[in-house]
């Protein structure tokens, strides 16, 4: 994206793009620019560790699981009912007989606390789910077990072992689930971090260091090379290449001189700027983006998790079955049988498998995704990806490489192309500018001899000059031509319409050639678009570039729909527009200006090489910049959802069979499900769920493999 992406300024693309992109600095200053960009843009990616509080919460569940696992061993091992099931004997010692009740009680109140408090919340919300179902099972098991231990109830209701296993397995499932959902960073914190800690305000003839929050409209500040702009403002003095990558997601610096608008958080790379503050606080573009992200995140209504839905249904199923059991056995049997049957129904109504059905699939899915370079931050995003029918791609840096290549050359009559390109590469050899690097790289790739250059000079707003083979070679944009009263070559008009950055090469003041540089389209983008079309998914592109530029890329890739000339603050609105058409939208982007759209989309997918804010606003992060990775997410979503539903059916199937049998529906023909058989069915259900989830490990989600299949 170029400078015209910013809402504060919309220059003519044909005039501004070349000059803005090709105002060189010295090699040393450009090195500083790249160092700053690395620190500001990509270098902070290694800090994506998640919220400290959330990480602590996960650690607490991990610690609680291991403690309960240790306690569960003696509870189960010294339980008489469990010993009967396996056929071993327990020493008839008073101390031994109280191990299970005492430690089981500790497990109920300590290990069961998350489920008990969760159950209270679900009751208050009148939305019974997994927490209430687990709490019901462990509470009934706890009370029945104490009744059996005290001799009030029969020994067959000694469920201490079942209580212990239920608590441990449910804690394991909860821990796995929470770990898979751990956030890597905070979008709003990342946005705030873009602002500098201090600003240099000019007061008369002196400067003073103040906090950005203390700045007022009309204040004059100085932004030194490598420093961040503390507030939105207008340049009053100085011309510099400004790194706006943290706002636009684009790697190419843009020129900002007197009268140009600059945005808070961007970096002056090569020279100092004096800036008059035009907006502070909530009025800045950065604050506006922050608000858009916050609004989009808060307005999204995530779908209720299917495991909770199943648990809610099973809760009412179990409760209804228990009530009917109690009534029928009281009327047609005896009170003692009614108590035993009712308690048995309530205890076995919560299968261990249900607590692992979803977390196991999520844990394995996220693991497989990570190996394929896909980080799942939000489980709901993974679940939603299977329903996506529209994928909205940012253009620059996503579908294109975000770096220029030499794509067009035009010579004056009689001029040798290799010689002219060699001169340009020689003159640009000492520059670190992306356009300069592209010219040098093109000369190397074409095997062109690049002569030695001396007397290198960079003129802000003009271009670069050097002495090559005894000639004065100058390379630059429209300003260079104006300074020499020269006209652009006729071929460049068509290049400009297609969005190319145009440079001219002058030898001793005479135009010898024109060079057209364009943003290279990724070959992987073609494969990704074709593969998405094969899945009957519409592909849309959004960009701040001009319509002609956008249409050129869209035509090359076969993209269905284009949103061009979109300002940063309008991207989220375009996502809403698509959603208003009834479409389920996945947004793929990399820049800060993409953050609101990523948050607004049904699924936000951030390119890992992009900015922290974009990554924070997304539910899925692609470690690479390969757009085919979107197919990996779709494939994983569909396969994992299938495994989730299969596991839920296995888990629920246990209930559908075991609960009626435990209630005694076959009692008239002489069959009542023994407690030990119910326990075996629980174990089998858990094993089946675990093995079924493991089948996901066979998935190969590498983009190359998916691309070859498509």
Which positions are catalytic? 394
**Which of these, 110, 111, 106, 104, lies nearest to 162 by C-alpha position?**
104
- Triad 435, 440, 441: Cα angle to 5°: 95
CB of 665 closer than 8 Å to CB of 640: no
Strand partners, 454: 467
CB of 314 closer than 8 Å to CB of 652: yes
Burial class (CB within 10 angstroms; exposed 0-12, middle 13-18, buried 19+) of 665:
middle
Strand partners, 405: 518
Query: How far, in Å, are 353, 534, 650 from residue 694 at the CA level?
Result: 14, 29, 15
**Which of these, 623, 114, 170, 604, lies nearest to 355 by C-alpha position?**
170
**Which of these, 479, 296, 497, 378, lies nearest to 54 by C-alpha position?**
378
**Which of these, 240, 239, 235, lies nearest to 253 by C-alpha position?**
240
Residue with tokens 């909770």: 308
Q: What single-letter DSSP state applies at residue 153?
A: S
DSSP code per residue over 636-702: HHHHHHHHHHHHHHHHHHHHHHHHHHHHTTTGGGT----HHHHHHHHHHHHHHHHHHHHGGGG----
**Which of these, 102, 121, 166, lies nearest to 139 by C-alpha position?**
166
**Which of these, 316, 220, 331, lies nearest to 273 by C-alpha position?**
220
Instruction: Considering only CA atoms, give the Rg of the chain.
Output: 33
Q: What single-letter DSSP state applies at residue 487?
A: P
Element (H, E) at 312: helix 306-332
Long-range Cβ contacts of 594-598 (<8 Å, 24+ apart): 594/249, 594/394, 595/187, 595/191, 595/289, 595/292, 595/293, 596/289, 596/292, 596/293, 596/295, 596/296, 596/569, 596/571, 596/572, 597/392, 597/542, 597/571, 597/572
**Which of these, 499, 496, 439, 504, lies nearest to 477 by C-alpha position?**
504
Q: What are phi and psi of 272, to 5 degrees?
A: -80, 150
- Helices of type H across 433-522: 434-445, 478-483, 492-497
Burial class (CB within 10 angstroms; exposed 0-12, middle 13-18, buried 19+) of 24:
buried
Identify the sign of the CA torsion 330, 335, 337, 340: positive
**What tokens does 190 get?**
């990342």
**Which of these, 591, 23, 8, lies nearest to 270 by C-alpha position?**
23
End-to-end CA distance of the chain: 30
Separation between Cα atoms, residue 435 and residue 438, nearest integer Å: 5
**Which of these, 103, 63, 98, lies nearest to 80 by C-alpha position?**
98
Q: What single-letter DSSP state applies at residue 156?
A: G
Separation between Cα atoms, residue 382 and residue 153, nearest integer Å: 47
User: Which residues in 257-347 belong to E strands, given as ranges?
Assistant: 261-262, 267-268, 273-279
Separation between Cα atoms, residue 410 and residue 291, nearest integer Å: 47
DSSP code per residue over 350-414: S-HHHHHHHHHHHHHHHHHHHHTTEEE--HHHHHHGGG--EEEEEIIIIIEEEEEEEEEEEE-TT
């Amino acid at each position: 994206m170029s400078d015209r992406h910013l809402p504060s300024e919309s220059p003519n693309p044909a005039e501004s793009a070349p000059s803005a992109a090709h105002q060189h600095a010295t090699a040393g200053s450009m090195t500083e620019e790249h160092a700053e960009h690395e620190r500001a843009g990509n270098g902070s990616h290694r800090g994506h560790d998640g919220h400290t509080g959330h990480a602590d919460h996960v650690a607490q569940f991990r610690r609680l699981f291991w403690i309960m696992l240790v306690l569960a061993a003696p509870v189960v091992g010294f339980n008489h009912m469990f010993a009967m099931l396996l056929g071993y004997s327990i020493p008839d010692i008073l101390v031994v007989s109280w191990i299970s009740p005492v430690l089981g009680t500790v497990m109920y109140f300590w290990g069961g606390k998350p489920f008990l408090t969760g159950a209270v919340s679900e009751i208050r919300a009148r939305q019974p789910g997994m927490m209430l179902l687990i709490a019901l099972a462990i509470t009934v098991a706890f009370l029945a077990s104490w009744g059996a231990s005290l001799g009030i109830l029969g020994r067959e209701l000694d469920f201490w072992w079942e209580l212990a296993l239920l608590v441990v397995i449910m804690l394991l499932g909860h821990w796995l689930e929470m770990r898979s959902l751990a956030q890597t960073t905070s979008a709003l914190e990342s946005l705030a971090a873009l602002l500098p800690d201090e600003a240099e305000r000019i007061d008369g003839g002196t400067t003073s260091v103040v906090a950005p929050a203390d700045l007022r409209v009309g204040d004059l500040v100085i932004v030194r090379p490598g420093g961040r702009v503390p507030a939105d403002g207008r340049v009053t003095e100085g011309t510099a290449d400004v790194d706006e990558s943290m706002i636009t997601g684009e790697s190419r610096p843009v020129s900002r001189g007197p009268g140009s608008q600059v945005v808070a958080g961007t970096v002056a790379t090569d020279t100092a700027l004096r800036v008059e503050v035009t907006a502070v606080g909530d009025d800045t573009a950065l604050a506006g983006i922050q608000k858009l992200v916050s609004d989009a995140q808060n307005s999204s209504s995530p779908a209720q998790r299917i495991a909770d839905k199943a648990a809610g249904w099973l809760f009412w199923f179990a409760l209804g079955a228990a009530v009917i059991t109690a009534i029928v056995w009281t009327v047609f049997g005896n009170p003692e049988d009614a108590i035993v049957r009712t308690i048995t129904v309530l205890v076995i109504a919560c299968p261990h498998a249900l607590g692992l059905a979803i977390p196991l699939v999520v844990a394995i899915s996220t693991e497989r995704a990570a190996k394929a370079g896909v980080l799942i931050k939000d489980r709901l995003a993974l679940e939603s990806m299977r329903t996506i029918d529209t994928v909205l791609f940012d253009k620059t840096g996503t579908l294109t490489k975000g770096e220029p290549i030499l794509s067009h050359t035009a010579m004056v009559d009689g001029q040798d192309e290799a010689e002219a390109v060699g001169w340009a590469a020689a003159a640009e050899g000492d520059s670190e500018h992306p356009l300069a690097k592209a010219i040098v790289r093109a000369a190397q790739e074409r095997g062109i001899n690049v002569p030695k250059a001396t007397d290198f000079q960079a003129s802000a707003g003009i271009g670069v000059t050097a002495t090559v083979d005894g000639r004065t070679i100058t390379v630059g944009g429209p300003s260079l031509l104006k300074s020499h009263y020269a006209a652009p070559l006729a071929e460049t008009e068509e290049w400009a319409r297609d969005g190319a950055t145009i440079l001219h090469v002058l030898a001793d003041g005479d135009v010898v050639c024109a060079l057209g540089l364009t943003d290279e389209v990724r070959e992987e983008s073609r494969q990704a678009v074709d593969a998405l079309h094969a899945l009957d998914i519409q592909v849309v592109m959004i960009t701040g570039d001009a319509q002609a530029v956008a249409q050129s890329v869209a035509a090359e890739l076969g993209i269905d729909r284009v949103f061009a000339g979109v300002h940063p603050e309008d991207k989220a609105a375009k996502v809403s527009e698509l959603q208003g058409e009834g479409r389920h939208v996945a947004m793929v982007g990399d820049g800060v200006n993409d953050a609101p759209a990523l948050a607004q989309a049904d699924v936000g997918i951030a390119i890992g090489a992009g900015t922290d804010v974009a990554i924070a606003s997304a539910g899925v992060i692609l470690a690479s910049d390969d757009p085919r990775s979107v197919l990996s997410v779709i494939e994983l979503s569909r396969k994992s959802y299938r495994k989730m539903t299969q596991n839920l059916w296995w888990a629920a199937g246990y209930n559908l069979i075991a609960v009626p049998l435990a209630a005694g529906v076959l009692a008239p023909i002489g069959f009542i499900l023994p407690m030990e058989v119910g326990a075996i069915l629980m174990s089998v259900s858990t094993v089946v769920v675990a093995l079924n989830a493991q089948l996901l490990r066979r998935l190969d989600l590498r983009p190359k493999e998916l691309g070859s299949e498509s």
